[in-house]
Amino acid sequence: MFIIVLITAANKKEASRIAAKLLKEKLVACVNVVGKISSFFWWQGKIDNAGEYLLLVKSKKGKFASIVKLVKSLHSYETPEIIAVPVIAGEKKYLGWIDESLG
């Protein structure tokens, strides 16, 4: 199953470092870094907000546990956002490229 993993990072440098390592380890086929976004969230019992960068990561479900482990090892947050959503459909050649890129 193909997935898109959403990861937020504190800054562009952290987002780029995570993206590069995920690609180098062949855990993902592609990472889009979107920034700067405004995030609003509950943290330690109160509403907080931060400027962040969003990584949109294209991969497969079987790689998710390894993605989580790697991201947590590089991330500055105590509780980083790392969530996967299923790809329910996609252009055949693009999905094939993801498969090919992941080996």
State the pLDDT at residue 90. Answer: 97
Q: What are the residue ranges spanned by the domains of the chain?
A: 2-102
Fold for domain 2-102?
Alpha-Beta Plaits (3.30.70)
The per-residue pLDDT for 103 is: 86
Q: What is the pLDDT of residues 8-51, one digit of tens each?
A: 999 999 999 999 999 999 999 999 999 999 999 999 999 999 99
Phi, psi of 67 (to 5 degrees): -60, -50
